Amino acid sequence: MASVLVCVQPARGHVGPTKPVVAALLEAGHDVAVVTGARYERVFADLGADVTVLDDEVDFDETDLNGSVPGRARLSGLKLGRFDLERFADAMPAQLRAVDQVLARGVDVVLCDPLFAAGMALAFRRGAPRVLVLGFVPLTAPMPYRPAPRGIGERLQGAALRRFMRWMTAPARETARRHVRELVGADTELSFMDWPMRSDGVLQLTCPGFEYPRELPTSVHFVGPTTTSAASEHPLPEWWGELDGSRPVVHVTQGTVANDDLGRLVDPAVEALAPDDVLVVVTTGGTAPSVDPLPANVRVADFLPYDELLPRCDLMISNGGYGGVNHALRHGVPLVVVGASEDKSEVAARVTWSGAGLGYARGSLPVPKLRSAARRVLADPAYRRRAGELAAEIAAGPTIDDMVKLIVDG
């Protein structure tokens, strides 16, 4: 049996895809230690893992980021994005101290969150165990990657995107490089976002058809999404019987965390679809939509079980969370994605490129444009057909037991 260390940031979108992998490793009889934040200590301990909690200086509460991360509340927009990326990179020394406590007990392989900066240090440290990455963000290497441009317009767009991303990631890049040099004595030109390319392999939680093809310096295994969401976790609402196929179902979500302002996507989508003969199913994470009164064709819940909901959906309108989008693709649901923060612009670009829907790398869309996009995807069977092809790729991919073998045996 192997000894596996799993390192994961204390955020729902990171813990969700990691938890099933930890459970499978434990069920297969392997020893599993987890390094994460205090908020998720019980989640992994209840599975049977040995949990080490991060120091307060690098721990945070995703439900109160401004309160738990000093200096964050005064920032917004692009400055906030740069700050968050640098914060991830600057956590490297404290994270590595926690990791080293576990490594001292003997570890065969480390499975790392791509935004857990200590993984970058381990990838450059001589004599470290094998380091694998659980890829629940898009593959951006070399940051930012796009397929070969078609025409002058795409070339100009690509050049502008590269300039922007160099500026956006500069603080995190320099901070990460400094820490790697100081902690393990290695110099690198690698971007913080691209460090998984230095690892021993990436278990990417999607299928090949949703990622740009290119040569990469490490092994990438497309394993499909791992997150599950069943009725045992989220009870069904009283109106569930209306999802009977009598009219198209459109699911609208801003993800599990970014629900402080539903005016970015949920409210415009509700207004956009109000005149259409569809059933609009909204999940809010606990925040109430500001559209009052709600249109007659709208149903609202805090959370819903995706493995029950998505097979009943004809379209998902999302802010571009990688896990949620791939969960939709697992069930063959076409998409309209509107998102620009974190990695969401990369997800939006892949939705359009893959043919599974329409993606807009923007924080919001006007109601008429959002209505037009939804109607277009619902009306054109090519989007549903392509989403179905990606669902078939996911279904044909590795099982969770195959993932365990990849982690343990290489």
The H or E element that residue 139 is part of is: none
Residue 106 pLDDT > 70? yes
Are 70 and 62 in contact by the 8 Å Cβ rule? The answer is no
Q: What amino acid is encoded at 20 in this protein?
A: P
Q: What is the pLDDT of residues 351-401, one digit of tens each?
A: 999 999 999 999 899 999 999 999 999 999 999 999 999 999 999 999 999
Rg over alpha carbons for the chain, rounded to the nearest Å, is 21
Q: What is the pLDDT of residues 9-26, one digit of tens each?
A: 999 889 999 999 999 999
Give how far Cα 344 sits from Cα of 36, 130, 310, 359, Å: 24, 29, 20, 10
SS3 content of the chain, % helix, strand, coil (to 5): 45, 15, 40
Give how far Cα 51 sits from Cα of 4, 27, 120, 375, Å: 12, 17, 21, 47
* Distance separating alpha carbons of residues 109 and 253, to the nearest angstrom: 36
Q: What is the pLDDT of residues 114-131, one digit of tens each?
A: 999 999 999 999 998 999
- pLDDT (0 to 100) of residue 145: 85
Domains and CATH numbers, the chain: 3-204 (3.40.50.2000), 240-395 (3.40.50.2000)
Task: Decide: residue 341, CB within 10 A, 0-12 exposed, 13-18 middle, 19+ buried.
Answer: middle
